[in-house]
Amino acid sequence: MNISGNTILITGGGSGIGRALAEALDKAGNKVIISGRRKGVLDEVTSANPRIKAVTFDIENPESCRSLAAQLSKDFPKLNIVIHNAGIMKPENLQSPELADCQSMIAINLLGPIRLTAALLPLLKRQPKSTIMTVSSGLAFMPLAMTPTYCATKAAIHSYTQSLRWQLRGSNIEVIELIPPYVQTQLMGPQQAQDPRAMPLADFISEVMQLLKSNPTAPEICVERVKPLRFSAEGGKYDATFNGLNEAMPSPH
């Protein structure tokens, strides 16, 4: 993936990693479009960054995925990169589950990227070179027991990304997986943005941009902070890492 000269859609671009990526890629010389459900949040980003464009979009709605693809094909015919960043994360007590939360996480974190990829493929195939970037998590490889459905959706995104990359091999579309660690955003609430255990957002984005620049053909983007989770199984440390991670976190009930 070249880090400049592209037309890029970033879902969930109104806050957190999505907004920070949008701003960094805008500064790197790309035309950036952000999407999300909260127009007010999107407007805050575009007001602060006049070159960035925004479209409201409900990733849970299958028809909205098709409508967005049609709109982008008309308004941004040179779109060649999509970054599937939209996601929600909620703790769950599996002994007394809230199925509505579970279903929303599956719809947004997993079905959303699958549906939007399918809708955008005709447009991406028309470009000389395109990129699909999924955003999984270190928790795709090392589950946090208090957020079981979130971790399951991210593990599924990792698996889906591998299959998508294989099926598109030899085409004009490359497939990249961005694997964040625990980052200072508000994904799990305002307290996460101040949690000293989390990686500062600015540091995460800086390292991601450097990795994209230095190794543009890498299939996975892993900052150093996430490698203990990503490669725990390969290093023979899975059980110890799993126990340590989950013993350090509160029970969801």
Mean pLDDT along residues 6-34? 98
Q: Which of 138, 102, 99, 129 is nearest to 226 (CA)?
A: 138
Domain boundaries, the chain: 7-247
Question: Is the pLDDT reported for residue 151 higher than 90?
Answer: yes
Is 150 noted as a catalytic residue in this protein? yes
* Tokens (6 digits) for 237: 């440390």
Smallest Cα–Cα separation from 125: which of 62, 73, 177?
73
Asked if residue 87 lies in contact with residue 245, where contact means CB atoms within 8 angstroms, the answer is no
- Per-residue pLDDT of 73-119, as tens digits, reads 999 999 999 999 999 999 999 999 889 999 999 999 999 999 999 99
Is the pLDDT at 251 greater than 80? The verdict is no
pLDDT digits (tens, 9 = 90+) for 185-232: 999 999 999 999 999 999 999 999 999 999 999 999 999 999 999 999
Pairing verdict, β 173-178 and 130-135: parallel
Which secondary-structure segment (H or E) carries 121? Answer: helix 112-125
pLDDT for 253 equals 42
CA-CA-CA-CA torsion sign (137, 138, 142, 148): negative
Which residues lie across from 133 on neighbouring strands?
83, 176
What local confidence, expressed as pLDDT, does residue 248 receive?
86
Catalytic residue among 150, 160, 182, 238: 150
Secondary-structure class of domain 7-247 per CATH: alpha beta
Mean pLDDT on 17-40 = 97
Take residue 92 and report the two structure tokens written for it: 């769950």
Query: Scanning the structure block, which residue is given the tokens 């279903």?
Result: 103
**Portion of the chain with pLDDT greater than 70, in percent:** 98
The amino acid at residue 138 is G
The pLDDT-based confidence of 250 (bands split at 50, 70, 90) is: low
d(CA 237, CA 70): 46
